[in-house]
Amino acid sequence: EFMLFYTGDYLTYMYLVSGKVVLMTDDGTETLVENPGDVVIQRGNMHAWRNPSTKEWCRWVSVLVDAEPARIKGQSLPDEWLA
């Protein structure tokens, strides 16, 4: 299964409308988001999403807000895409 991990210089609010979705982070953590109305807030972390169902759609609303780059030890994290 192909997964595209990504990060960027923005603050993201994800609001689950229906279905289920799994948030995956580059450290191997997987979090099931399953209740309509659940919100995930992210800033600068490497992540990907997958629908755990082969039969149901997942619908969510995304709001991206421009932000200063996340920093670690004074270094800005670059926008990245990993496959």
pLDDT computed for residue 36 by the predictor: 96
Whole-angstrom Cα distance, residue 3 to residue 38? 23
Mark 40-60 as b/e (b = at least 16 C-beta within 10 Å): bebbbebbbbeeeeeeeebeb
For residues 1 and 48, is the Cβ–Cβ distance under 8 A? no
When computed from its CA atoms, the radius of gyration of the chain, rounded to whole angstroms, is 13
Q: What is the pLDDT along the chain (83 residues), one digit of tens a residue?
A: 667 777 777 788 999 999 999 999 888 999 999 999 999 998 778 888 999 999 999 999 999 888 777 677 887 766 666 65
Please give the model's pTM, rounded to 2 decimal places.
0.75
pLDDT at residue 7 in the model? 73
